[in-house]
């Protein structure tokens, strides 16, 4: 981060991608990545299709079996949505350690990452490296925003710009 900030101060535009997601989560109600938003979009905001017709809860879960929600030849939309509903119980707001975290509103919990790390969809958040890392990252970013105007201005410039993407999409049609 410090290296990226130092490059920006020299006029070289460099961004750290995960910090960019976190900054966007802090400064905007819009979330670019389903994996870095709250709640995770698995099965709720996104569905992914495997080449064999299996419907998965997210792209990262394709072919792994643990977020399979159905098959395009056998299941209708309502069935798929009903199978995805239990994923709502895994929202950070409902996990006790997350609900008391000051960064919960900005953090994202990727169900695929949790499953691959813990072989369980219910996260063991306090022991999780990513939870500890996210807390440190948010502490760092908030400190930069509050204590260093130059760094804060650079970090604001890293925010994903959704307005320009919408204009681009309209012009592309």
- Residue 100 and residue 26 in one domain: yes
Nearest 5°: phi and psi at 116?
-65, -30
- Residue 57 and residue 137 in one domain: no
Q: Give dist(CA 72, CA 69) in Å, integer.
A: 10
pLDDT of residue 168: 38
Predicted TM-score (pTM) of the model is: 0.69
The least confident of 89-93, 113-117, 120-124, 151-155 is 89-93
Q: For residues 15 and 87, which has the higher predicted lDDT (pLDDT)?
A: 15
- Residue 142 and residue 80 in one domain: no
Of the candidates 63, 128, 55, 66, the residue with the CA atom closest to the CA atom of residue 98: 128
- Residue 71 and residue 149 in one domain: no
Show the domain range for 25: 2-40+91-172
Buried b (16+ CB within 10 A) or exposed e, 75-95: eeeeebeebbeebeebbbeeb
Q: Please state the domain count of the chain.
A: 2
The residue-averaged pLDDT of 37-62 equals 83
E strand or H helix that includes residue 152: helix 149-157
The yes-or-no verdict on residue 171 having pLDDT over 50 is no
- Residue 166 and residue 118 in one domain: yes
The yes-or-no verdict on residue 169 having pLDDT over 60 is no
- Residue 153 and residue 100 in one domain: yes
């Amino acid at each position: 981060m410090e290296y990226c900030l130092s490059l920006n101060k020299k006029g070289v535009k460099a961004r750290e991608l995960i910090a960019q997601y976190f900054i966007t989560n802090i400064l905007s109600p819009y979330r670019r990545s389903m994996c870095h938003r709250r709640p995770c979009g698995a099965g709720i905001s996104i569905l992914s299709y495997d080449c064999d017709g299996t419907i998965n809860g997210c792209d990262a879960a394709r072919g792994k079996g643990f977020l399979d929600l159905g098959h395009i030849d056998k299941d209708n939309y309502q069935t798929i949505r009903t199978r995805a509903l239990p994923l709502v119980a895994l929202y950070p707001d409902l996990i006790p350690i997350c609900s008391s975290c000051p960064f919960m509103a900005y953090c994202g919990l990727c169900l695929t990452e949790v499953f691959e790390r813990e072989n369980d969809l219910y996260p063991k958040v306090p022991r999780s490296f990513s939870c500890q890392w996210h807390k440190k990252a948010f502490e760092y970013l908030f400190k930069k925003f509050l204590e260093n105007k130059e760094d804060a201005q650079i970090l604001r410039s890293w925010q994903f710009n959704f307005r320009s993407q919408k204009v681009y999409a309209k012009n592309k049609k």
